């Protein structure tokens, strides 16, 4: 119980420490990538719950990220002012769901308010996750992997083939997402620090939720599903429902990240829906140690940051491919679980002895 | 006019169907001996095509193709020996992730080696515009090459699996690995061999259709999904049914252009895959009883 | 011929065999009897390399085989007829038998293979009749005969059988035991694992009793047959079964 809060406090401290460090060393521009890494981390911890605790693989999570991002991007950029006269549109405009703003060229346009778009994206995600989840989660092993991969590919090819979604170019000039007066999710450098904290606040809240979930009755049920589905069924655990709820929850995490990252970047492109993105999420969950939320969180922050800063150069995808293979070959429990923990443990012990 | 268009689509469907069928067979061969779905299956087709194009720069076409097939077979065998052979009873999840990792590495390797350019082999006989008239329909000779090679591959595989000792040993290994080991059959070598064989036929297919469909470093992932769809349609593990399923998928896809924008072609086949998985995972042709009896 | 010393085998953290030792001499028929879950199958699978021992030694003809892969153990002359028969269902009887002769083909002994095939057909005439039938369509008894035939095709110097009588009608069980006895008479060495303790002990020279992964008794077969404890624990069950 206390350990949980210790971990969360440590996370909060680490978040603040990183920000102070960048400020102290004058590397504040790192915060941009750290913010993006935060949103990806949100996707990844959600996937970690699904893979590590419910034991279901998803090779289509980039699809949910894209559903969130694209829904929000389309709704907040489509100009409805031509239909201003229509009663439905004017009603929406009066109720504040629609909002007017100046576009890139100074013209006045009428679009959906980001908050409304956000809710809309969530609803669509939940519905899609439900519709896909019900049949897909009946499958196991290769079938489940291929079905989720198929789902991801469909989203990708639909995005790529539809002009409304900007086809290969994606959607740009997505407006800022107003959070509080004076605070908005946007890539502008004046809001850089605030955005960094907001992204990681989301991650922290997400972690808190997941951790409480894992330690609740639901978490125990999930673990029993992972262990042996038939046995779980015999114990009266409604495995299908738990799996579905977990699937939907992890899809929502992905969609929320998709929405905010799209507003942060001011746009979204089809690569966010690509299979490589989905595979990358799986890779990071695997490196973190399936079923270790904290391991996954740490690996996600580190790897995403390095990747976004371009440290892997043109070998970006190859790096993640190699990571996948290496982890699965040598340490399927994850990198942190095996070595570092025992190493650190040993180190602390010898340290204490030395101190005493 | 209508009829002519109809046959155009049919021929296009058959061409793509050939390659889907061969990828599907490749899936089945490896699945049968190992119980693994090799997500890198489509990469073999890409490697075959790309290697042949490179070799053709200084070798005559037949030698370039033979060389490409051999190189890809070596890669297939190497993959098995490096990443699969020494794992003791790995979980399905682990194998999925490893073969996905392998496919990414091959793809990235190809990207660095060959770049993003689209390449293709020359037409085996004639060129893009030459055509043979069959019953009033004009068909590119390359399509006949593709169909012919596919037919020969299927025939040879059948002979191999049913009438040679080595083929029978592989089937024994597929049917019951422990029992095969108890006969003294070196089962791990059979697994390596299954990777070599399925890499080889994938590469050959990649060469034969390359003049028509062209080759690029990234085509593998899409082909893998199509090939898997075909394998599922035919019933996982049932190689010969994959041939029929391959043509069905190719033709369906080709005719979908009639009713849907071309860009959604891929979405069609995946929707078929999903529908199959949900409704009839044992395949179109088999009943679930037969699906359990693995056969080549 | 076969010497097992202090064998420990476990599935993950579940330890199944504990410090198990036994031996089989040339020309002997040795039986291991034990209840369900005693670890009999585990033992045979470990000897043939399908499972890896945690510790202990397995020597076959003075050679340590504990770490060899299955195919090498088989090619050294140690064959197993696995529990539940496990024939190649989608292949005809003849192909099953020829696959059993893999190690012989490897040594280039084609002649011997065809002689062995005739011998198997002599032992099991029914297999000759069904030569071209798919193995999966044979009856249980026929499949068991095929499994034994397949193992014999390797020309083993030690043949191990895992519950050959399982799920078979008494009449067929009798046939099968007669064959095992005949193998012994012809100078073969047999390690027979059985729950059908009475029949097994009747044809065996020596026997071991396995309980919870430990050998609790061993001795000449007739002594075991006469042993009161065994009569109560293992033969009593037999009597009940026969009275049914
Ligand atoms: N693959 C496995 N994984 C985990 N435990 C196993 C496995 N196979 C067997 N066991 C366990 O090992 C023990 C011994 O099993 P084994 O099959 O060797 O018994 P047996 O004596 O052959 O029984 P039977 O007479 O029923 O065939 C049992 O408790 C069984 O549950
Ligand atoms: Mg047993």
Sign of the torsion angle spanned by Cα atoms B221, B223, B226, B230: negative
Alpha-helical runs (H) found in C186-235: 197-203, 221-226, 228-230
Mean pLDDT score, B169-187: 91
Helix (H) or strand (E) holding C18: strand C14-24
CB of C31 closer than 6 A to ligand 1? no
Q: Is A315 on the interface with B (CB under 8 A)?
A: yes
* C74–B181 C-beta distance less than 8 A: yes
Ligand 1 pocket, mutate which of C40, C84, C167, C215 (most atoms under 8 A from CB)? C40
Neighbours of B78 (CB within 10 A): 14
- Please count the CA atoms within 13 angstroms of the CA of A21 that sit on its side-chain side: 9
Q: Is B277 on the interface with C (CB under 8 A)?
A: no
Residue of B nearest to C52 (CA): B88
CA-closest candidate to residue A175, choices A266, A239, A291: A266
Mean pLDDT score, A76-100: 79
Q: At what angle do helices A239-265 and A192-214 cross, to 10 degrees?
A: 180
Q: Tens digits of per-residue pLDDT, A199-241?
A: 999 999 999 999 888 888 777 777 777 766 666 665 556 778 8
Question: Look-up: residue for tokens 């470093």?
Answer: B217
What is the percent of chain C with per-residue pLDDT over 70, rounded to a whole number? Answer: 96
Q: Which chain B residues have a beta carbon less than 8 Å from that of C100?
A: 183
Eight-state DSSP code of residue A190 = G
Residue of B nearest to C70 (CA): B181
Q: Is C113 on the interface with B (CB under 8 A)?
A: no
Q: Which of A264-268, A309-313, B264-268, C78-82 has the lowest mean pLDDT?
A: B264-268
Are A147 and A52 a contacting pair, CB within 8 Å?
A: no
Who wins on pLDDT, B137 or A344?
Answer: B137
pLDDT of residue A233: 60
* Ligand 1: residue whose CA is nearest its atom 1: C11
Q: How far apart are CA B191 and CA B198, in angstroms?
A: 11
Mean pLDDT score, A52-75: 92
Residue of C nearest to B162 (CA): C91
| Residue B1 pLDDT class (50, 70, 90 cuts) | low
Who wins on pLDDT, B54 or B96?
Answer: B54
Instruction: Identify which of B9-13, B63-67, B189-193, B255-259 has the greatest average pLDDT.
Output: B63-67
Among the partner-chain residues B172, B187, B188, the one whose CB lies closest to the CB of C88 is: B172
Residue A350: pLDDT above 90? Answer: no
pLDDT of residue A229: 62
**Which 3 state secondary structure label does DSSP give C213?**
coil
Sorted by sequence, the CB contacts under 8 Å of residue C227 that are 6+ apart come out as C217, C219
CB of C13 closer than 6 A to ligand 1? no
Neighbours of C75 (CB within 10 A): 19
Residue C213 CA: which ligand 1 atom is closest? 14
- Is residue C138 included in any domain, yes or no? no
Number of domains in chain A: 1
CATH number of domain containing A196: 1.10.3470
Phi, psi of C16 (to 5 degrees): -110, -45
Ligand 1 pocket, mutate which of C11, C13, C15 (most atoms under 8 A from CB)? C11
Mean pLDDT score, C15-42: 92
C86: left (phi over 0), alpha (psi -120 to 50) or beta: left
* B264–A57 C-beta distance less than 8 A: no
Mean pLDDT score, A106-132: 90
Residue B236: pLDDT above 70? Answer: yes
Supply the mean pLDDT for chain A. Answer: 84
Eight-state DSSP code of residue B122 = P
Q: Tens digits of per-residue pLDDT, B190-235?
A: 999 999 999 999 999 999 988 888 888 888 888 888 888 888 888 8
Q: How far apart are CA C161 and CA C48, in angstroms?
A: 12
Based on the number of CB atoms within 10 Å of its own CB, is B226 exposed (0-12), middle (13-18) or buried (19 or more)? buried
Paired tokens of C209: 């009793």
Residue A6: pLDDT above 90? Answer: no
Q: How far is CA B225 from the centre of its chain?
A: 10
pLDDT of residue A340: 47
Sign of the torsion angle spanned by Cα atoms A59, A280, B31, B211: positive
Mean pLDDT score, B87-115: 87
| Residue B31 pLDDT class (50, 70, 90 cuts) | confident
pLDDT of residue A96: 75
CB of C187 closer than 6 A to ligand 1? no
Eight-state DSSP code of residue A169 = G
| Residue C45 pLDDT class (50, 70, 90 cuts) | very high
Neighbours of A235 (CB within 10 A): 12
CA-closest candidate to residue A263, choices A183, A163, A169: A183
* B225–A318 C-beta distance less than 8 A: no
* B94–A328 C-beta distance less than 8 A: yes
- Is residue C131 included in any domain, yes or no? no
- Is residue C147 included in any domain, yes or no? no
Q: Which chain A residues have a beta carbon less than 8 Å from that of B278?
A: 135-136, 138
pLDDT of residue A180: 84
Who wins on pLDDT, A189 or A276?
Answer: A276
Q: At what angle do helices C110-123 and C93-100 cross, to 10 degrees?
A: 130
| Residue C156 pLDDT class (50, 70, 90 cuts) | very high
Q: Is A273 on the interface with B (CB under 8 A)?
A: no
- Is residue C112 included in any domain, yes or no? no
ipTM comes to 0.90
| Residue C26 pLDDT class (50, 70, 90 cuts) | very high
Structural domains of chain B, with CATH: 2-125+140-295 (1.10.3470)
Q: Is B37 on the interface with A (CB under 8 A)?
A: yes
Supply the mean pLDDT for chain C. Answer: 90
CA-closest candidate to residue B228, choices B283, B156, B296: B283
* B228–A146 C-beta distance less than 8 A: yes
**Which 3 state secondary structure label does DSSP give C59?**
strand
Q: How far apart are CA C172 and CA C175, in angstroms?
A: 5
What is the percent of chain A with per-residue pLDDT over 70, rounded to a whole number? Answer: 89
CB of C38 closer than 6 A to ligand 1? yes
Phi, psi of A139 (to 5 degrees): -85, 165
Interface test with B, best of A140, A168, A228, A321 (most B CBs within 10 A): A321
Centre of ligand 1 from the C-alpha of residue C213, in Å: 10
- Please count the CA atoms within 13 angstroms of the CA of B44 that sit on its side-chain side: 37
**Which 3 state secondary structure label does DSSP give B129?**
coil
Residue A263: pLDDT above 80? Answer: yes
pLDDT of residue A336: 55
pLDDT of residue C239: 46
Helix, strand counts (H, E) of chain C: 12, 10
Domain assignment of residue A66, given as a range = 2-355
Mean pLDDT score, A242-249: 91
Eight-state DSSP code of residue A309 = T
Mean pLDDT score, A314-321: 87
- Contact: chain C with chain B (3+ CB pairs below 8 Å): yes
The total number of residues written for chain B in this structure:
296
pLDDT of residue A227: 64
| Residue C238 pLDDT class (50, 70, 90 cuts) | very low
| Residue A84 pLDDT class (50, 70, 90 cuts) | confident
Residue A192: pLDDT above 90? Answer: no
Centre of ligand 1 from the C-alpha of residue C37, in Å: 5
Residue B288: pLDDT above 50? Answer: no
* Ligand 1: residue whose CA is nearest its atom 4: C11
| Residue C20 pLDDT class (50, 70, 90 cuts) | very high
| Residue A354 pLDDT class (50, 70, 90 cuts) | very low
Residue C53: pLDDT above 80? Answer: yes
Number of domains in chain C: 1
Interface test with A, best of B82, B103, B106, B108 (most A CBs within 10 A): B108
Centre of ligand 1 from the C-alpha of residue C14, in Å: 10
Residue C38 CA: which ligand 1 atom is closest? 21
Domain assignment of residue C70, given as a range = 2-87+157-243
* A160–B93 C-beta distance less than 8 A: no
Residue C40 CA: which ligand 1 atom is closest? 21
Give the dihedral of Cα atoms B15, B20, B26, B30; nearest 10 deg: -170
Supply the pTM of this predicted model: 0.85
Centre of ligand 2 from the C-alpha of residue C130, in Å: 28
Supply the mean pLDDT for chain B. Answer: 86
- Is residue C62 included in any domain, yes or no? yes
Q: Tens digits of per-residue pLDDT, C159-191?
A: 999 999 888 888 888 989 999 999 988 888 999
Give the dihedral of Cα atoms B175, B180, B186, B190; nearest 10 deg: -10
Q: How far apart are CA A351 and CA A347, in angstroms?
A: 6
Q: Tens digits of per-residue pLDDT, B104-147?
A: 999 999 999 999 889 988 988 887 778 887 777 778 888 889 89
Centre of ligand 1 from the C-alpha of residue C40, in Å: 8
Are B121 and B53 a contacting pair, CB within 8 Å?
A: yes
What is the percent of chain C with per-residue pLDDT over 90, rounded to a whole number? Answer: 67
Centre of ligand 1 from the C-alpha of residue C162, in Å: 13
Mean pLDDT score, C66-70: 90
Phi, psi of A176 (to 5 degrees): -65, 155
Q: What distances in angstroms separate CA B278 from CA A140, A147, B44, B224, B251, one per listed residue?
A: 11, 9, 28, 19, 22
- Please count the CA atoms within 13 angstroms of the CA of A101 that sit on its side-chain side: 19
Paired tokens of B254: 């080709």
Within the 28-57 window of chain C, which residues sit less than 8 Å (CB to CB) from chain B?
Answer: 48-50
- Exposure string of B118-153, with b = 16+ CB inside 10 Å and e = fewer, is ebbbebbeeeeeeeeeeeeeebbbbbbbbbebbeeb
Residue C12 CA: which ligand 1 atom is closest? 4
Mean pLDDT score, B39-59: 94
| Residue B54 pLDDT class (50, 70, 90 cuts) | very high
Sorted by sequence, the CB contacts under 8 Å of residue A45 that are 6+ apart come out as A203, A206, A207, A210, A253, A293, A296, A297, A300
Q: How far is A180 from chain B (nearest CA, A)?
A: 41
Are C130 and C142 a contacting pair, CB within 8 Å?
A: yes
CATH number of domain containing C175: 3.40.50.300
């Amino acid at each position: 119980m206390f350990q949980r809060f210790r971990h969360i406090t440590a996370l909060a401290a680490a978040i603040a420490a990183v920000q102070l460090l960048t400020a102290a060393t004058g590397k504040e521009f790192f915060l941009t990538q750290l913010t993006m890494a935060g949103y990806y981390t949100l996707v990844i911890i959600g996937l970690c719950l699904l893979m590590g605790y419910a034991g279901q693989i998803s090779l289509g999570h980039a699809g949910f990220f894209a559903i969130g991002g694209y829904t929000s991007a389309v709704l907040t950029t489509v100009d409805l002012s031509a239909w201003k006269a229509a009663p439905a549109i004017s009603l929406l405009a009066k109720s504040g769901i629609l909002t007017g703003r100046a576009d890139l060229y100074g013209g006045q346009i009428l679009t959906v308010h980001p908050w409304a778009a956000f809710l809309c994206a969530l609803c669509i995600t939940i519905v899609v996750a439900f519709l896909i989840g019900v049949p897909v989660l009946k499958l196991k092993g290769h079938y489940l992997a291929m079905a989720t991969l198929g789902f991801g590919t469909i989203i990708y090819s639909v995005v790529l083939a539809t002009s409304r979604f900007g086809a290969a170019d994606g959607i740009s000039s997505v407006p800022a997402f107003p959070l509080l007066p004076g605070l908005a999710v946007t890539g502008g450098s004046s809001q850089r620090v605030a955005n960094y904290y907001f992204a990681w606040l989301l991650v922290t809240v997400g972690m808190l939720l997941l951790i409480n979930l894992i330690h609740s009755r639901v978490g125990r049920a999930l673990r029993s599903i992972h262990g042996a589905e038939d046995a779980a069924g015999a114990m009266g655990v409604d495995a299908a429902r738990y799996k579905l709820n977990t699937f939907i929850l992890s899809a929502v995490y992905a969609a929320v990240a998709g929405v905010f990252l799209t507003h942060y970047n001011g746009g979204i492109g089809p690569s966010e829906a690509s299979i490589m993105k989905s595979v990358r999420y799986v890779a990071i969950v695997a490196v973190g140690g399936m079923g270790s939320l904290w391991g996954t969180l740490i690996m996600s922050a580190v790897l995403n940051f390095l990747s976004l800063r371009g440290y892997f150069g043109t070998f970006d995808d190859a790096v993640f491919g190699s990571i996948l293979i290496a982890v699965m070959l040598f340490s399927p429990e994850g990198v942190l679980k095996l070595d570092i923990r025992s190493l650190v443990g040993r180190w602390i012990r010898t340290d204490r002895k030395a101190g005493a | 006019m209508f009829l002519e268009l109809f046959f155009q689509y049919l021929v296009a469907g058959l061409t793509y169907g050939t390659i889907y069928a061969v990828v599907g067979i490749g899936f089945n061969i490896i699945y049968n001996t190992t119980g693994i779905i090799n997500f890198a299956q489509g990469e073999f087709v890409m490697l075959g095509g790309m290697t042949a194009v490179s070799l053709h720069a200084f070798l005559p076409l037949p030698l370039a193709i033979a060389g490409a097939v051999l190189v890809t077979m070596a890669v297939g065998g190497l993959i098995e020996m490096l990443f699969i052979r020494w794992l003791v009873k790995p979980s399905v999840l682990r194998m999925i992730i490893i073969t996905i990792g392998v496919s990414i590495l091959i793809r990235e390797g190809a990207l660095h080696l060959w770049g993003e350019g689209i390449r293709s082999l020359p037409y085996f006989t004639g060129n893009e515009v030459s055509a043979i008239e069959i019953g009033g329909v004009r068909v590119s000779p390359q399509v006949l090459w593709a169909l012919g090679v596919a037919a020969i591959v299927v025939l040879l595989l059948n002979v191999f699996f049913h009438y040679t000792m080595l083929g029978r040993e592989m089937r024994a290994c597929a049917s019951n690995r422990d029992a095969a080991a108890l006969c003294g059959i070196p089962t791990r070598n059979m697994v390596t061999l299954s990777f070599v064989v399925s890499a080889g036929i994938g590469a050959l297919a990649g060469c034969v259709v390359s003049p028509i469909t062209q080759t690029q470093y990234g085509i593998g992932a899409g082909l893998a999904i199509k090939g898997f769809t075909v394998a599922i349609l035919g019933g996982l593990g049932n190689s010969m049914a994959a041939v029929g399923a391959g043509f069905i998928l190719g033709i369906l896809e080709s005719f979908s252009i009639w009713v849907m924008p071309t860009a959604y072609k891929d979405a069609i086949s995946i929707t078929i895959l999903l529908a199959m998985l949900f409704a009839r995972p044992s395949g179109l042709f088999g009943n679930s009883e037969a699906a359990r009896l693995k056969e080549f | 011929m076969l010497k097992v010393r202090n064998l420990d085998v476990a599935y993950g953290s579940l330890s199944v065999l504990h410090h198990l030792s036994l031996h089989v001499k040339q020309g002997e028929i040795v039986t291991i009897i034990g209840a369900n879950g005693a670890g009999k199958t585990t033992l045979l699978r470990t000897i043939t390399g399908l499972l890896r021992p945690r510790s202990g030694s397995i020597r076959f003809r003075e050679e340590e085989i504990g770490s060899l892969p299955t195919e090498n153990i088989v090619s050294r002359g140690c064959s197993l007829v696995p529990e539940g028969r496990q024939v190649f269902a989608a292949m005809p009887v003849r192909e099953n038998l020829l696959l059993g002769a893999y190690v012989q083909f490897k040594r280039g002994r084609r002649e011997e293979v065809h002689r062995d095939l005739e011998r198997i057909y002599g032992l099991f005439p029914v297999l000759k009749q069904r030569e071209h039938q798919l193995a999966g369509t044979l009856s249980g008894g026929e499949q068991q005969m095929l499994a034994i035939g397949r193992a014999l095709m390797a020309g083993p110097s030690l043949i191990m059988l895992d519950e050959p009588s399982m799920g078979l009608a008494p009449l067929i069980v009798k046939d099968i035991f007669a064959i095992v006895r005949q193998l012994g008479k012809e100078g073969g060495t047999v390690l027979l694992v059985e729950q059908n303790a009475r029949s097994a002990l009747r044809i065996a020279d020596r026997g071991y009793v396995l309980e919870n992964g430990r050998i609790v008794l061993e001795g000449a077969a007739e002594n075991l047959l006469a042993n009161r404890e065994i009569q109560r624990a293992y033969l009593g069950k037999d009597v009940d079964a026969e009275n049914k």
